[in-house]
A and B are shown apart, each in its own frame.
Chain A
Amino acid sequence: MRTLGVFELTGCGGCALNIIFLYNKLFDVIQLYKIKEFHMASSYREEGSLDVALVSGSVSTQRDLEILRRARENSRFLIAIGTCATHGNMQSSLEGSMEEKLERIYGTRDNYMGALNSKPIVEYVKVDFAIPGCPYDKDELYQALILLAKGVEPVYKDYPVCVECKLNEYECVLVKRGIPCLGPLTVGGCNAICLRSGIGCIGCRGPLPKGVNPAGEARILKELGYDDEYIRNKYKTFSGGGLKW
């Protein structure tokens, strides 16, 4: 039996909840793994080493950093789950120094809660696998956990949202309706769920790790009448500054 731990840093909690939302497939997971720590599901906690650690949320406080370091030191395979952990998500799109932010929100430059500038966990520790998405697709996590239990390393998605959009024969909203869509830049795996409703991709899964062309997409969006500020805001919403041109 392998061991599993789930760790939550700063985020909405949806990514940890998504594990519980595996419903009956969660029973498959506990057939293969003993869950030693999963705060959202149980107050039970056991110290010691882990085969797999799942970490959601971004590093935004000193406490987050301590939890993350503990998860890393005690685990053999660490998976970043959700866009907060993989790319930083919205909280890391906020620009400026910590003092300025504290002043603007709380009216003081004193950092009582030990807040840090929000960053994805990949900035602090080595991550063995990443499942982006806000929230991530729970079947992707299921596949990764079963593969790891069988001693096989999971494989990254190397294709953008466009591929799954086409596989489903959804109308291309960027080409046919001039709706701004980040599908060409964003990692697939969501089965193009927003495009199914004719909504342009907002990029919640973060940009593809390699070969992405934000300048090319910006050029197209400008042709459609969107200005630099709009595009910059759209790019940075989830990517934590990963999309620039």
Chain B
Amino acid sequence: MRYSKLPKENFEAFFKSLEKWGAVYGPVKRGRIYSFEKIKDPNEMSLNYTRTMIPPKKFFVKPRERILRLKDGEWVEECDEEKKVIFGVHSCDINALLILDKVYLSYPEDPLYKRRRENSLIIGISCMPDELCFCKSLGTDFAMHGFDLFLHELPDGWLVRTGSVKGHEIIWRSRELLQEPNEADLENFRKFEDRRIKSFKKELDAQGIADLFDLAYNSDVWKKYEELCLGCGNCNMVCPTCRCYEVCDLWTSPYEAERVRRYDSCFMETHGLVAGGHNFRATRLDRFRNRYYCKSYFDPQAGFNCVGCGRCDEFCPAGIEHVKVLYEIARGRSYNVPILQRKSA
């Protein structure tokens, strides 16, 4: 892997140069949440953001999009072809995209997802965990691949890792803005990583969870959480690895229609409804349990379908904590769960 150094004073010029590759999107603060949005001026960005509410998944599978249009009796495909640079993606989200790739790019591949993946550059950025992050426990706190460039914060700039051929090309074209890193830069990189690793407050002992889950299907803990959970689906909506979508046809006139898909949630009553009226997840308890099995159990060999980003904890109205649920299930007894302290306006 090639390492370069981007000095702080060259950041703006480097950022501007990215526009040649496509429309640049980055993390922006909006009210009390962060969101990936189109960036004109790099100063609009909040590069020390914790996590965006909606993960960068939204660039590849959009929250809601028209995929086909019925015109003159024929279905016409719709897909935006915009070239994009997604700047400032955290390691957990890069790893989440790799999980999505396994789903959307294996046969039969999703043509829209594939085209958008090919049309996008991913530029990662290092981060410090907050009290909700547990990516370290899942090995997703460091991205080994899945990005074109990755920027690691240094006191006077960034150490840039190159992760793809395109990444090399960007480095080559911006070579006059970059330097060779020296020993001091590498020492600073090591120090930052050390500090990052030590800053985690939440940990998940992922070893053996799958076996314990096997035994815990009828655990009382599920019953407790059925009472707390509102079944609102917020955890699914903000999850970077949730993959379910709903497709429906909407009429625009009596003879023209569009086929729209949107994120779906396994907490919805009809998610498990099949032909004949049978619902294999008829109660909220079934649906609550299903989410945890989906994230941590179904295929332990393929790894967890969770990257420890902390979004479901941050946006759960009932203050349900993912790691706590897993622990309680694994240990077979429940602990009193206080609601996360919220700041009111």
Contact = CB atoms under 8 A, between A and B. Distances in A.
B54 A169 contact: yes
Contacts of B237: 162-163, 166-167
Contacts of B230: 184-185, 213, 216-217, 220
Interface string B164-189: 00000000000000000000000000
A20 interface: no
Nearest to A24: B253
A177 interface: yes
B108 interface: no
Interface string A204-245: 000011111101110110011100000000000000000000
Given A167-B263, A171-B31, A178-B343, A183 B232 contact: yes
Contacts of A168: 63
Contact of B317 (A210, A215, A220, A225): A220
A159 interface: yes
Given A176-B33, A184-B317, A169 B268 contact: no
Interface residues of B, number: 46
Contact of A216 (B32, B54, B318): B318
Most buried by A among B253, B263, B317: B317
Give the contact-size bracket for chain A: 35 or more
B233 interface: yes
A162 B233 contact: yes
Contact of B314 (A31, A156, A175): A175
Interface in A167-205: 167-169, 171-172, 174-179, 183-185, 198
B64 interface: yes
Interface in B45-75: 53-54, 63-64
Given A158-B270, A213-B229, A171 B33 contact: yes
14 contacts: A159-B233, A166-B63, A166-B234, A167-B263, A172-B315, A175-B315, A176-B342, A198-B31, A212-B231, A213-B227, A216-B228, A217-B317, A219-B228, A223-B342
